[in-house]
Amino acid sequence: MPPSVPSLPRRVARMLRTSLFAQVACALVLGILVGKLWPDAAAELQPLGDGFTRLIKTIISPLVFCVVVVGIAKAGDLKAFGRIGLKALIWFEVASTLALLIGLLAANIVQPGSGMNVDPAQLDTSAVDAKTGGGSLPSTTEFVLNALPQSFIGAFAENELLQVLILACLVGAALLHLGHTKVPKVLPAIEQAQEVIFAIVGFIMRLAPIAVFGAMAYLVGQYGLGVMETYAKLIVLCYAAAALFIALLAVALKTVTGLSLWKFVRYIREEMLLALGTASTESVMPRVMQKLRRAGARDDAVGLVLPTGYSFNLDGASLYLSIGTLFIAQAVGVDLSLSQQITVILVLMLTSKGMAGIPGSAFLALSATASSLGAIPTGAVALLLGVDRIMDSMRVVTNLLGNCVAVFAVSRWEGALDADKAKKVLDGEIVFVAEDEEPEKPGPREPELKKPESEEAAAVPARTTKETAAEAS
């Protein structure tokens, strides 16, 4: 008798119960509908997304610390770790500069701001001040000093990833120097703490659909969909430029590692959808670290390259900044010369590196660029207030893929990538299982399978008459 096929409603219910991707996708659609139909009520749902992001942020620093320390200690080579860091920085600089150039080229060809003839004096710049909180981007010296920790606990309390990375490198180096004989219990304790953190990640990820629903409902309810009509040319240009950049990333990944970016996107589709819904790459960082490790990238490479990329490799932000600078110049009728556009590239190469974690950082970088040129009124930055939130999806996807490709490329460059395992994982031959869901590992010896009764009977030696008589007596 052939097995019965479950009905469609049962299959859908099972998918919603077991698939995080399906749950997040449904939450995304529901959030858009609620934001469109009940915008006033939807505007009150922002805490759902913000609360989820806060929970994730609490575990990012200890997770990065544990992964890096364990990676260094197990690799047993601090010099290799330094080479990984240097190669990552080189990759980041090349990638972000390429993103800036693509953005400038696209803006020069399409000219999204031409014909707007905006009078900067009529723009309300107070909204920009509210967006940035009156802050400013750090100078190069301040950026370097801020990367150095003042306090061991303070680096974790303030979620300063670069400071946590430096502390992790120091602790990993100390473990290598002392050896396992002098501190035999430290490394196992850190490994166990890492397992606990990944279990916490699993708990928090169950709240992801609620977070996506709240964040998307707030976005649509607060900003509406009408802004897409007003800035349609700019939005389409930014997303098209991002698509071109991602296509180049795919070519680079295939050339360097032989892996397919599109298969990788399918592999992290749950995290991609969650990042889109919450407009935050930080919300998926712990889970992406898990998946990169399971896909054959060595722990020390994942632990160093991915967190560092969150500060140094903002490819999506670089695209947006270069296009946005030319957009506001064209909107106010300023024609930038070639030398001025080269200045834009140089300024953004510096300002884009200090953006991570600063409120309204895109507007601060744009304002700094406008001030350095002296030709664009700083107040013209307010033109992008209405469209900035719509660009988050483009920035999030491009930043996330850019950093993941960097992990694979640098790992391959350094010999820290199991390419065969990576291909099997991306092809679906090895199914990803979250570490908090992983079944118990067997002991050093596999338990023997129970033999059939006939075999057991055959294996038992025949009892002699003398043995039976002895037992009876």
* Vertex 17 angle, CA 12 and 22, to 5°: 65
Structure confidence at residue 268 (pLDDT): 92
User: Please, is 358 exposed, middle or buried when counting C-beta atoms within 10 Å of its C-beta (0-12, 13-18, 19+)?
Assistant: middle
Which pLDDT score, from 0 to 100, does residue 450 have?
A: 43
Taking a C-beta distance cutoff of 8 angstroms, is the pair 195, 16 a contact?
Answer: no
C-alpha distances in Å from residue 440, one per residue of 63, 189, 431, 435, 437: 22, 19, 16, 10, 9
CB count within 10 Å of CB 325 equals: 30
Q: How many CB atoms lie within 10 A of CB 357?
A: 15
What is the enclosing helix (H) or strand (E) of 312?
helix 299-312
Residue 297's SS3 state is strand
pLDDT value at position 452?
43
Q: What is the pLDDT of residue 426?
A: 92
**What count of other Cβ atoms lies within 10 Å of the Cβ of residue 250?**
18
Residue 366 corresponds to which tokens in the numbers above? 């744009």
Return all residues near 108 (Cβ < 8 A) that are at least 6 apart. 326, 341
pLDDT for residue 158: 85
Residue 286 · residue 303 · CB < 8 Å: no
List, in sequence order, the alpha helices (H) in 125-268: 126-132, 140-146, 152-157, 161-182, 186-205, 208-223, 227-230, 232-257, 261-267
Give the pLDDT confidence of 158-201 residue by residue, as tens digits: 888 888 988 998 998 888 888 877 888 888 999 999 899 989 98
pLDDT tens track, the chain, 473 positions: 455 666 667 776 777 777 777 888 888 889 888 888 888 888 788 888 888 888 888 888 899 899 888 888 877 777 888 888 899 999 998 999 999 999 999 999 988 887 777 666 666 556 566 555 555 566 667 777 878 888 899 889 888 888 898 899 899 888 888 887 788 888 899 999 989 998 998 888 888 889 888 888 887 777 666 555 667 888 889 999 999 999 999 999 999 999 999 999 999 998 998 888 888 888 888 899 999 999 999 888 898 899 888 878 888 888 988 998 888 888 888 888 888 888 888 888 777 765 555 555 677 777 777 777 777 776 777 777 767 777 888 888 999 999 999 999 999 998 889 999 999 999 888 776 665 554 444 444 444 444 444 444 444 444 444 444 444 43
**pTM for this structure?**
0.79
- Give the pLDDT confidence score for residue 279 in this predicted structure: 80
> pLDDT digit string (tens) for 385-400?
767 777 888 888 999 9
In DSSP terms, 297 is beta-bridged to: 417
